[in-house]
């Protein structure tokens, strides 16, 4: 371990707990999509601590949050996301650490497995209270959309520009979701079997409900996001098996997921940087 994750003792003794409703929120704003480099971000966000740790300066946060971002070959999107997220989360007084989980090589992208890997690798630094699973290309626009976890898993990315800021379908659970550590363990994380595009997010919702949890959402004005336009990714073809897989989601839940991913990945590189902890992994994509 090269980064120290220190805030436990101060949290236990400090009476100055961050308010339930942060004071500096500004509401709905346009996203900032201007081109930016990594060094510009490092220069701008001097509040970042090693490993991509951001925490409130004037109060003691209630939760520690890990944001897990599955990644491959999307550098400009990642930088734009951080350019927007860091000020947004600063205003929200969130204690957050960013983890970028990069799938190595050219094997087909496996978003669900990357979230499981991110969870397990983040746990090696700190037992975060709250895990937010975040796509690299969607930008929250309203800081009343509070990045924290609660008694039920939250679907954050309710209203995307791509769908005229409406909910795509009532069981949509994609883009950005947040679960308490205990909830992620309880549902056995994501399935590792969705190789390529589609339905791994629907599978996660089946898992949530099968454990008698309910998904919660903010309203469409609050939970607004812009998706950065891009071409369909190479290496993430639509998965033709997703319909069949989704049918067996509840049956597979306890035997396949967070508890089985360990056998199927290898960390190739781990770099705690200023803006994030970067973890490159190879996946065997065999479940």
Measured from the CB atom, the residue of 91 and 162 that comes closer to ligand BGN is: 162
Pattern of binders to ligand BGN over 145-174, x per CB under 6 A?
-----------------------x-----x
Interaction of residue 114 with ligand BGN, rule CB under 6 A: no
For residue 138, the cross-strand partners are: 227
- Of the candidates 95, 102, 121, 137, the residue annotated as catalytic is 137
Q: What is the CA radius of gyration of the chain?
A: 18
- Of the candidates 121, 200, 203, 226, the residue annotated as catalytic is 200
> Active site includes 24?
no
Instruction: Give min distance, CB of 239 to ligand BGN, in A.
Output: 8
Instruction: Give min distance, CB of 162 to ligand BGN, in A.
Output: 8
Measured from the CB atom, the residue of 200 and 256 that comes closer to ligand BGN is: 200
Alpha-carbon gap, residue 261 to 241, rounded angstroms:
20
**Backbone φ and ψ of 265, nearest 5°:** -140, 160
Q: List CB contacts of 172: < 8 A, sequence separation 6 or more.
A: 155, 201
Measured from the CB atom, the residue of 127 and 243 that comes closer to ligand BGN is: 243
- Copy the structure tokens of residue 258: 């967070």
> Active site includes 278?
no
First to last CA, the chain: 28
Q: Out of 66, 246, 258, 281, which residue is the one contacting ligand BGN (CB under 6 A)? A: 246
> Active site includes 137?
yes
CA angle at 243 for the pair 239 and 244, rounded to the nearest 5°: 105
Among all chains, which residue has been given the structure tokens 């960013």?
Answer: 98
| Angle, helices 200-210/111-123, rounded to nearest 10 degrees | 60
Closest of 189, 5, 167 to residue 95, by C-alpha: 5
Measured from the CB atom, the residue of 161 and 282 that comes closer to ligand BGN is: 161
# of chain residues touching ligand BGN (CB under 6 A): 9
Interaction of residue 203 with ligand BGN, rule CB under 6 A: no
Catalytic residues: 135, 137, 197, 200-201, 227, 230, 232
Where does this chain bind ligand BGN (CB under 6 A)? Answer: 168, 174, 198-199, 201-202, 242-243, 246
């Amino acid at each position: 371990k090269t980064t120290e994750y220190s805030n436990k003792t101060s949290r236990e003794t400090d009476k100055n707990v961050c308010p339930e409703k942060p004071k500096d929120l500004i509401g709905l704003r346009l996203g900032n999509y201007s081109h930016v480099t990594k060094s510009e971000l490092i220069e701008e966000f001097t509040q970042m601590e090693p490993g991509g740790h951001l925490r409130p300066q004037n109060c003691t946060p209630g939760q520690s949050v890990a944001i897990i971002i599955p990644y491959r070959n999307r550098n400009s999107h990642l930088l734009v996301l951080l350019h927007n997220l860091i000020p947004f989360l600063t205003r929200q007084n969130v204690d957050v650490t960013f983890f970028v989980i990069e799938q190595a090589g050219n094997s087909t992208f496996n978003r669900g497995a990357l979230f499981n890997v991110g969870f397990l690798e983040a746990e090696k630094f700190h037992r975060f209270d709250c895990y937010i699973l975040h796509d690299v290309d969607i930008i929250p626009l309203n800081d009343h959309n509070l990045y924290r976890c609660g008694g039920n898993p939250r679907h954050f990315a309710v209203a995307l520009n791509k769908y005229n800021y409406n909910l795509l379908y009532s069981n949509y659970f994609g883009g950005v979701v947040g679960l308490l550590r205990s909830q992620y363990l309880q549902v056995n994380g994501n399935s590792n079997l969705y190789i390529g595009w589609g339905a791994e997010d629907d599978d996660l919702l089946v898992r949530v409900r099968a454990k008698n949890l309910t998904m919660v959402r903010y309203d469409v004005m609050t939970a607004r996001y812009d998706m950065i336009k891009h071409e369909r990714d190479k290496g993430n073809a639509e998965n033709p098996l997703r319909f069949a897989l989704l049918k067996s989601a509840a049956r597979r839940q306890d035997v396949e997921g967070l508890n089985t991913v360990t056998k199927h990945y290898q960390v190739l590189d781990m770099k705690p940087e200023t803006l994030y902890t970067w973890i490159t992994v190879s996946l065997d994509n065999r479940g």
